[in-house]
Amino acid sequence: MDRMMTAGTTSAVATGSAAMPDEVTSVGFMLVENFSMIAFSSAIEPLRLANRAARRDLYRYSLWSENGTRCTASNGVEVQVAGSFSEAQGLDPALDMAIVCGGIDIQRCDHRALQATLRRTCIRGGAIGAVCTGTYVLAKAGLLDGYRATIHWENQASLACEHDGLEIGSDLFEIDRNRFTCAGGTAAADMMLSLIVRDHGADIAADVADQLIHHRIRESGERQRMDLRMRLGVAHPKLLHVVGLMEKTFAEPLGSQELAESVHLSKRQLERLFLKYLGRSPAKHYLRIRLEHARHLIRQTAMPLLSIAIECGFTSASHFSKSYVDHFGRPPSSERKV
């Protein structure tokens, strides 16, 4: 393809060995409509900078989409591509690495052409990766069976519901043999830097990180979400403990007495603590956590609303619907209207 750009390798990732000195890895970025621009940029830029650091081409990269001409990111920016997914499937030599770049509403797209290309890439010995919600496409294609994987924290529950046999974690990224996935955002840079370390050594990866003003390459097992203390803007240890407990038990909510006893407080003391720091009662905060989780499931899965209600700790569809309207100002069914 005449629009192929300089970039990186898959054979080394597939085998787990360092790339040979003169090898160039060909990487195809598979852009899905409404892909995350920050995740895509964080994945492709380390490859460009690796070439610059090595003063030769370590990676060659190209962009592909469903229609073969362009693809629009979730921020509205259009990106020109080299060709369609089907054309990428027929490349000779084959891509060493195919990376699916996902974003919002990925479950609403028809991914059959992309899945065929990914399967073909695997058959021909290539490695397969994903950033942000691209993991969803790999899972639908059956390419993550027997592999560890991760996805953006908003999509973990919905992916687990649809593919309960998959080993889906909450790490920043996962590199498992010739499969690699990440949560998206800037985590894509950490994943690519780790692959560069594997393929070409720590020195080149460190040079790339410096160019990115990326102070350190984060470990794969680091948490995705901001620390609870930062998210809430409070530091009270007992409050943080109770909120953390709430986030783990939304499917089977604990009683106020049990929550209070977990931090050796009375129900009244716990109530005052929540009102002082969060401006709402423990019950209202708990309900908010459950409803926000429900909204993720409604938007990202085809689960019946009653199943979602039960999954989020509601005993009836009517109670769930009323609570949803009170909190979001719209019924849960409206979330699925196009």
Cβ neighbours for 270, distance < 8 A, ≥ 6 positions apart: 242, 256, 259, 260, 263, 282
Length, in residues, of the chain? 338
Predicted TM-score (pTM) of the model is: 0.74
Of residues 22 and 274, more confidently modeled: 274
The number of folded domains in the chain is: 2
Of residues 250 and 44, more confidently modeled: 44
Please measure the distance between the N-terminal and C-terminal CA atoms of the chain and give it in whole angstroms.
37
* Closest CA relative to residue 176, chosen from 140, 139, 218, 129: 129
Distance CA 221, CA 186 (A): 15
Q: Does residue 283 lie within any of the structural domains?
A: yes
Assign residue 162 the CATH number of its domain: 3.40.50.880
- Using alpha carbons only, give the angle 166, 159, 84 rounded to the nearest 5 degrees: 100
Report the SS3 class of residue 180.
strand
Share of the chain above pLDDT 90, in %: 64
Report the SS3 class of residue 171.
strand
Are 317 and 248 members of one domain? yes
256-269 average pLDDT score = 93
Are 234 and 273 members of one domain? yes
pLDDT score of 302 more than 60: yes
Are 167 and 63 members of one domain? yes
pLDDT score of 124 more than 70: yes
Identify the pLDDT of residue 160.
82
The residue out of 145, 179, 212 marking a domain boundary is 212
Q: Does residue 120 lie within any of the structural domains?
A: yes
Q: State which residues form the domain around 264.
A: 228-335
Q: What is the mean pLDDT of the chain?
A: 88
Identify the pLDDT of residue 165.
80
Ranking 97-111, 161-175, 176-190 by mean pLDDT, the lowest is: 161-175
Q: Does residue 149 lie within any of the structural domains?
A: yes
Identify the pLDDT of residue 17.
36
Are 115 and 198 members of one domain? yes
The alpha carbon of residue 336 and the mean position of all alpha carbons in its chain are separated, in whole angstroms, by 21
pLDDT score of 248 more than 50: yes
Are 130 and 266 within 8 A, CB to CB?
Answer: no
pLDDT score of 338 more than 70: no
Assign residue 233 the CATH number of its domain: 1.10.10.60
288-314 average pLDDT score = 86
pLDDT score of 66 more than 90: yes
List helix spans (H) across 249-304: 256-262, 267-277, 282-300
For tokens 């080993």, what's the residue?
A: 167
- Which pLDDT band holds residue 227 (cuts at 50, 70, 90)? confident
The residue out of 165, 182, 212 marking a domain boundary is 212
